[in-house]
Structure 1
């Protein structure tokens, strides 16, 4: 069972005009594509027409998003930091699913000014804990002011960032495989 690649959803959390989240996600997935132990599925929230308020019955777009969350065995959330938090679009998307997140690992790629998006990550850790996920200790983080980005928003390669990607993906893979086995061996208690 553990010899098949881990299915990882990479969620681009910003839908803001002029965002760099799509470029950061492309850079990240470019480094992760070299691995044969992972299969990536990019979920760009800009491509989902999720409602601003949660309706009583899930819309077709909510169902489409939730199905992709359910199919994934692990997640990497690409998030900016806006005013020491994460985007409302990301929270809305997270709230479209519930049980689908459960007992799976979550990693973070963040960006922002000076704090590198880490305030957003800390808030997301709390939310994902409530959803019964396991969040990864290590992150990939960028400071938008330090000159490490091209004009199109793509990060320049550096040894430190490359190693951060490897570390995050190694942790995600370990937890993803362990939790895959655990979900098969016994039902989750909650």
Structure 2
């Protein structure tokens, strides 16, 4: 079984990421091959790159970075749930990825994105590049949620069959890649 961390990438007070991530967590929790945990980036309160040492050294001095590192190190695989802010992933998620290094090595990551007409696909594409540069295997399967605000009722994302198929397909790939990469981490 892969330890899957589903990361809510937005930290804005008015964010809708928790509703999207709850849906991902619900589907992933019943998916064969993973044990899924929802991780709220906002709960780590990470400042902008405040560690004096390069992340590759893993000489973290601050409690928030140590906690973030420990939680991400547990994972074999990740699904990053991201909005699209100005055609890009939120700075909070970019910062969270960049403040660690070795924790990401040879692990697999998928992206579920949400936004307007593009469903957040532009932010997902940029995020996948950063994921690759961090030493992870970014899946080509991305799950977009277009016009998300009209699909959230009382904090719950209303989905359809195609969205569910897309997410399950991405999770299938995540399991294949995650199991293949496990031996490489030794």
| TM-score normalised by the chain length of structure 1 | 0.89
* Inter-CA distance 16–40: structure 2 relative to 1 (3 Å threshold): same
Map Cα deviations across residues 52-83 of structure 1 (whole Å, 9 max, x no partner): 34231531111110111111001100000000
Q: Which runs of 5+ in 1 are unaligned?
A: 185-190
Structure 1 residue 126, shift from structure 2 partner: 1.2
More helix, by proportion: 2
Partner of residue 136, structure 2 = 133
Contact 2:49 2:99 in 1 (8 A): no
Structure 2 counterpart SS, 1:67: helix
Q: Which runs of 5+ in 2 are unaligned?
A: 53-59
Decide which of 163, 166, 172 is 1:164's aligned counterpart.
166
Number of positions where the alignment pairs a residue of Structure 1 with one of Structure 2: 179
| TM-score normalised by the chain length of structure 2 | 0.91
* Inter-CA distance 152–18: structure 2 relative to 1 (3 Å threshold): farther
Partner of residue 180, structure 2 = 178
Q: Does 1:82 align with 2:78?
A: no
Q: How does 1:20-169 map to 2 (within 5 A)?
A: 20-56=16-52, 57-144=60-147, 147=150, 149-169=151-171
Kindly report the root-mean-square deviation, in angstroms, between the aligned alpha carbons of the 2 structures. Answer: 1.5
Structure 1 residue 34, shift from structure 2 partner: 1.1
